[in-house]
Amino acid sequence: MLGLAYKRKVDDTCETPAVEIISRLAAAGANVTYHDLPVPQFPRKRDYDLNMTSVALDDASVATADAVVIVIDHDAIDWSFVGRHATLIVDTRDIMTSVGGCLARVVKA
């Protein structure tokens, strides 16, 4: 999962759509990790406690993921890197359209 904040360039997780996505994937048996520099630790909220910390965005974390889900398109993410190392990208922000050299299968959501 790339991007956990509510919107770009912030660390606010109130009303983030990532919570519902993570919860549903985990309920289906997925092992979910996330990367979001502004949100190094997912804060406990009244309605959920995901107890997660941000992972590094490196060759191993991207290449070993069955899918990369883009929830928030932070400026600090190297989208070309993601496109070259991921196998499958679920792009909810249409960021990958403008990224050259993408080798991954991209599904717009």
pLDDT of amino acid 37? 92
Domains held by the chain: number: 1
Q: What percent of the chain has pLDDT over 70?
A: 100
* 29 occurs within a structural domain: yes
Identify the pLDDT of residue 48: 76
pTM summary value: 0.92
Q: Is residue 27 part of a domain?
A: yes
Residue 45's pLDDT is 75
| Digitized pLDDT (tens) for each residue of the chain, 109 residues in all | 999 998 998 998 888 899 999 989 999 999 999 999 999 998 877 777 788 999 999 999 999 999 999 999 999 999 999 999 999 999 999 999 999 889 999 999 9
Q: Within a domain: residue 52?
A: yes
Instruction: Kindly state the tokens that stand for 5.
Output: 């904040």
The answer to whether 88 touches 79, Cβ cutoff 8 Å, is: no
Q: CA–CA separation, 50 vs 75, rounded Å?
A: 25
Q: Quote the CA–CA distance of 68 and 50 in Å, as a whole number.
A: 18
* Residue 6 domain-assigned (yes or no): no
Q: What local confidence, expressed as pLDDT, does residue 50 receive? A: 82
Domain coverage including residue 88: 18-108
Would you say residue 7 lies in a domain? no
DSSP conformational letter for 96:
G
